Amino acid sequence: MSAEAMLQEAREALRQGQHSRARDLLTRLLRADQSNPAYWLWMSAAVESTREQIFCLRAALKVDPANSAARQGLIMLGALPAAPESVPSPLVRRRWKVEPIGDTPTPSSSAGGLRPALRLPFYLVLTLLVGGLILLGLVDLGDESAVALPPVGTPGLLPTYTATNTSIPLARTYTAEPVHSNAGPTPLWMRLEATYTPTPLYVNTPHAISEAYRAGLRAFQRGDWQSALDFFQQASLVEASSADIYLYLGEVQRMLGDYSAALQAFEQAISTDPLFAPGFLGRARILLATSKRSRDQDESIQQDLDRALELDPGFGEAYLERAALGLMMGNLESARQDLKHASGLLPDSPLVYLYRAQLALQEGEIESALSLARQAFELDRTLLPAYLVLGQACLLNGEFEAAIETLEIYLEFEVEDAVGWLALGQAYAGLSEPSQAYFNLLRAASGRDFAQAILSFDRALALDDSLSYAFLYRGISLLALGEGQKAVNDLLASRAAAGELSDQELFAIDLGLGRALLAADRLQDAFAQINSLEARAPDDESLAAVLYWRARALEAADEGRAADRDWSALLEMPVDVVPSDWRLEARSRLSTPTATQGTAYPSAAATPQPTPARTATPISAVRAAPTQH
């Protein structure tokens, strides 16, 4: 099918109120050509929530900054300020004739809500009001290249990744919590009627006596969750002994965000048929999607997923969920094996690529992680966790602007994710791994927004004050802004809050602390701190940093002769481990007969700390007795 024919079919689907079908067609077009603003404009009419409309319209405007239809839509949705000369466009008025649905039964009134037969004209009018306003002025789209891509099955929701003691946090501390709460914003993939790729049916058992079941399946397949809920509830009253009805009740409740009701439905499916594998998977998914769980719950999840695969060894979705659990618990080899099985059973699933990217991040394979995260992102752009993983992968690969772009979209929906705010702060500051954080600060500092980074770190720590890396990165950012004493406080907090750290990570923190003490004009403390690191330097680059900053501390204390020894030693080191500006400074200092007294760093008085009393003993005399902090 040509792109033009596919676009025409998507338009027709929208006119008939078939939003799920329109999204599927437009997704195929966008996979082939994301630079066509018309595809994004029509997609904005196919999605149902305001946030998704704004996302699509922003994408259209990014591709075509002069696109008046996209700009007008964003203004009308409140995402852009209206220009003074802007005036509202007249409402497009059409007469819609809706044919009666003859083969669809009416759910009982006890199910609540509008009946499906009444919903169709309601949604058509809603689509007309929103889509007509947004797409006003859309004209001939021209010919496009042929596109023929099949839909990709995306099974289920992705559990939220949280923090472990690694450079890219993954799992939060275990805390018992209710299964689900409707407080806060609903994630992107739950706001849509369906993701870009349709949810597959596990079973489609004939139910001769219940037309409501068949109608529920039709609603389920087109992503009409409320109608599906109504029909499946009615079917459960007629056929109370059918496990598959409870399975779909649970899936619909899960998509609607009612995790408590979904859990009850899955447990009813298991009770009705203890050999029904999807019931165990559904129950595991609900618990796995909980952001804070207990260890006992993790064991229950593992048992449910093991049982599902014992009953159905070809159940690809169960392998995916067990892989996700393995990633959260740090069982990387188990996760790798489960992903291998899932890849064979569900080769086109974006979750396969997403979990493989997460595995690569944990194993330090950052280039592979970036490639896999991009593949997951391209397969399903409504998969919200893909934005976080892609942002983290971009961050570790030094693509800071791309990381900022994706992480800001992620945090627009997940505003209470401390790990997301931490990653965004790192991207603004241009800081990646903890062991290299201090040295990254020395390179290409131009273009970094340390003030914005500090705001992001503040958000992260307000949500989770156990994130030791947030203290580290905020301390280094404060140091970059000359806030010496504040940087001291954060770097000390980072050391106190951290668990087991590598030698390189500890060295980075302690070197930053020494420089922060120097910036705070605590000269003896700064010298003692930096001097103690000489024997701990893990490589030549680290040793060069010790020599440089010790020389600076000695000169600040008017110990020019001792500083000259360090400047000379610095110049004798390999050229590739000493920044060029350090070498220039060393030559300049050695050519000056008398070292300049004082330090170029401002003194910071915020959060006052006692300053050690000055003595007549030269600061270089404390070399043999370094002070630890």
155 to 159, 439, 592: CA distances (angstroms): 12, 42, 69
Kindly write down the DSSP assignment for every residue of 532-587, as one continuous string: TTGGG--SHHHHHHHHHHHHHHHHHTT-HHHHHHHHHHHHTS-GGGS-HHHHHHHH
Supply the pLDDT for residue 458: 96
Q: Is 138 exposed, middle or buried (0-12, 13-18, 19+ CB in 10 A)?
A: middle
Q: What is the spatial distance between Cα 210 and Cα 537, in angstroms, rounded to a whole number?
A: 74
Q: Which residue has better confidence, 165 or 353? A: 353
User: What region, left, alpha or beta, does residue 80 occupy, with left being phi > 0 and alpha being psi -120 to 50 degrees?
Assistant: beta
Kindly write down the DSSP assignment for every residue of 192-260, as one continuous string: SSS-SSPPPPS-----TT-HHHHHHHHHHHTT-HHHHHHHHHHHHHH-TT-HHHHHHHHHHHHHHT-HH
Two tokens, residue 386? 């893909």
pLDDT at 176 over 80: no
Two tokens, residue 520? 């705070």
Q: What is the spatial distance between Cα 46 and Cα 40, in angstroms, rounded to a whole number?
A: 10
Tokens 């719950």 -> residue: 297
The listed range with the strongest mean pLDDT (179-193, 281-295, 390-404, 431-445) is 390-404
Asked if residues 312 and 150 have their Cβ atoms less than 8 Å apart, the reply is no
Q: Is 433 exposed, middle or buried (0-12, 13-18, 19+ CB in 10 A)?
A: buried
Q: How many CB atoms lie within 10 A of CB 331?
A: 16
Lowest-confidence region among 21-25, 407-411, 434-438, 564-568: 434-438
196 to 356, 412, 492: CA distances (angstroms): 20, 20, 47
Q: Which residues of 392-401 are buried (b: 16+ CB within 10 A; e: fewer)?
A: bbbbbbebbe
Q: What is the mean pLDDT of residues 306-330?
A: 93
380 to 28, 53, 92, 259, 385: CA distances (angstroms): 10, 16, 32, 23, 11
Residue 229 CB-half CA count within 13 A: 21
Q: What is the pLDDT of residues 363-374, one digit of tens each?
A: 999 999 999 999
Q: What is the pLDDT of residues 516-556, one digit of tens each?
A: 999 999 999 999 999 999 998 888 988 998 999 999 999 99
Q: What is the spatial distance between Cα 93 and Cα 82, in angstroms, rounded to a whole number?
A: 24
Three-state SS at 295: helix
Q: How many CB atoms lie within 10 A of CB 603?
A: 12
Q: What is the mean pLDDT of residues 483-496?
A: 89
Dihedral angle computed from the Cα positions of residues 294, 298, 303 and 307, in that order, rounded to the nearest 10 degrees = 120
Supply the pLDDT for residue 619: 56
3-88 placed in CATH 1.25.40.10: yes
What CATH topology corresponds to 482-624? Answer: 1.25.40
Confidence of residue 616 (pLDDT cuts 50, 70, 90): very low
Residue 623 is inside which H or E element, if any? none
Lowest-confidence region among 326-340, 375-389, 479-493, 615-629: 615-629
Two tokens, residue 383? 């998969």
Residue 391 CB-half CA count within 13 A: 26
Supply the pLDDT for residue 76: 77
Q: What is the spatial distance between Cα 220 and Cα 193, in angstroms, rounded to a whole number?
A: 10
Q: What is the mean pLDDT of residues 316-337?
A: 94
548 to 324, 367, 556, 587: CA distances (angstroms): 46, 33, 12, 12
Q: How many CB atoms lie within 10 A of CB 319?
A: 27
Supply the pLDDT for residue 122: 39
Q: How many CB atoms lie within 10 A of CB 455?
A: 17
Q: What is the pLDDT of residues 217-256, one digit of tens each?
A: 889 988 889 999 999 999 998 888 889 899 999 999 998 8
> Where in the chain do CATH 1.25.40.10 domains reside?
3-88
pTM: 0.63
Lowest-confidence region among 122-131, 424-433, 582-591: 122-131
Rg for the chain, CA atoms, rounded: 30
